[in-house]
Amino acid sequence: MIPVEMLKSGAAAMNIELTDTQLAQFDLYATLLVEWNQKMNLTAITDPEGIVVKHFLDSLSFLRYVKPPKNASLIDVGTGAGFPAVVLKIARPDLRITLLDSLNKRLLFLQEVSRQLHLPMTTVHARAEEGGRNPQLRQKFDFATARAVAALPVLSEYCLPFVKKGGAFVAMKGPGGETELTDAQKAIRTLGGKHEETHLHTLEDGSSRTAYR
C-alpha cells in the first residue's frame, strides 16, 4: 500500500535502518489503519505518502533525539491510532510499549495491529489524568511520550507522573511551541521535572515539528 522505498530512505536519513520484515509490518499497519478508519475516526491522513511522512517518519523522529536502552519501557499517552508508539515498536521491537487511550474502540484497533504484526504491546483504557494516579502506572516508565494531544502545560501534567526517576517525557509537537514551553515551565517544575532539550526538524513535505525533552 505505502511507498516502502520512500519510508526506507526517509528512515535511513535519520540513521534508522529498516529491514524488509519491518517495512512489511509498516505496510500492513497502514493497510489496517485505512481499513479501520472507514469504521471509526482514527486519522484524517489516509493517502499512502501522507501516512509515510506525517505518521511513520514523524514518529520515527523520536529516535533521532532519544536513544532508549535495550528493553526500555515506554508509555504513549493518548495514543490514538498508535503514533508514535507502534511505529517505535516496529523499529525497536525490544521496547516494552504501553498504549494508553480514553477510547476503547481505538484500543481494539491497536490490539488487532499488535496481533497481526506479531508485536506484543499492552493497552490501557483510561484517561491520562486517571492513569497517572494509578499505582501500577505512576512512575513506572523509562519514557513517556505524547504526540499532538494537548498544549504542553496540560501535557506535562498528564505525562510526567508516569515517568520513573531518571526517565524522560518526550513531547512531540508541531510548529510554534516555544510559547507553550514557557507556559509549561511551572507545571514541569512542580512535578519534579526540568526541560533539557528542544529539537526542531522539518518533514519531507516541508512542515515543521518540535520535540521537547
Question: Domains in the chain, start-ordered, CATH in brackets?
Answer: 4-212 (3.40.50.150)
Q: What is the pTM of this model?
A: 0.95
Cell output for 210: 518540535
Listed residue (127, 170, 173) closest to 148, CA to CA: 173
**Sequential DSSP letters for the chain:** ---HHHHHHHHHTTT----HHHHHHHHHHHHHHHHHHTTS---S--SHHHIIIIIIIHHHTHHHH--PPTT-EEEEET-TTTTTHHHHHHH-TTSEEEEEES-HHHHHHHHHHHHHHT---EEEES-HHHHTT-TTTTT-EEEEEEESSS-HHHHHHHHGGGEEEEEEEEEEE-S--HHHHHHHHHHHHHTT-----EEEEE-TTS-EEEEE-
Query: Quick one: average pLDDT of 74-94?
Result: 97
pLDDT at residue number 201? 79
pLDDT at residue number 212? 83
The per-residue pLDDT for range 93-106, each reduced to its tens digit, is 999 999 999 999 99
Query: Quick one: average pLDDT of 185-213?
Result: 84
pLDDT at residue number 204? 82
Asked if the model's pLDDT at residue 187 lies above 90, the reply is no
Query: Quick one: average pLDDT of 45-64?
Result: 96
